[in-house]
Structure 1
């Protein structure tokens, strides 16, 4: 997961992490980017601002303490390209 976080746009990573109905909790998303030294987002406020922007666009939506797939969700580009293998 860290390779994807370091190599891909954060919007694409968040789309990937919300591909199933469960989505991802904000604390877990924060932890993923914290471990990657806030790659491409700067800090946790930058990450929260990005999630808010994606929510406003309908790509994700808030659900409790996390985010899930929104009505305008789309497949991340790196998944369409088959860029990574997932075991």
Structure 2
């Protein structure tokens, strides 16, 4: 009910909103990687002795974030991988 009233959900349309809802695991992982990437980048800039390892970790989190975006796209278009789609949403149609 709250989902149908939100402005941003209505911009996606019905099918786009269900695609994001089905990919909630990938969306949560995407934002978790984004937060970790930003934290490691900020700490790397402030601590000279840890710049190399933390900037490498930030790059890894960026790659993971892009991977989560790819997984979300696969879930939205193909409804695969099934183990990442919540069981009650597996019967929903693709985009």
Pairwise same-fold verdict (TM > 0.5) = no
TM-score (norm 2): 0.23
So what's the TM-score if we normalise by structure 1? 0.24
Pair member with larger Rg = 2
* Structure ranking higher in helix proportion: 2
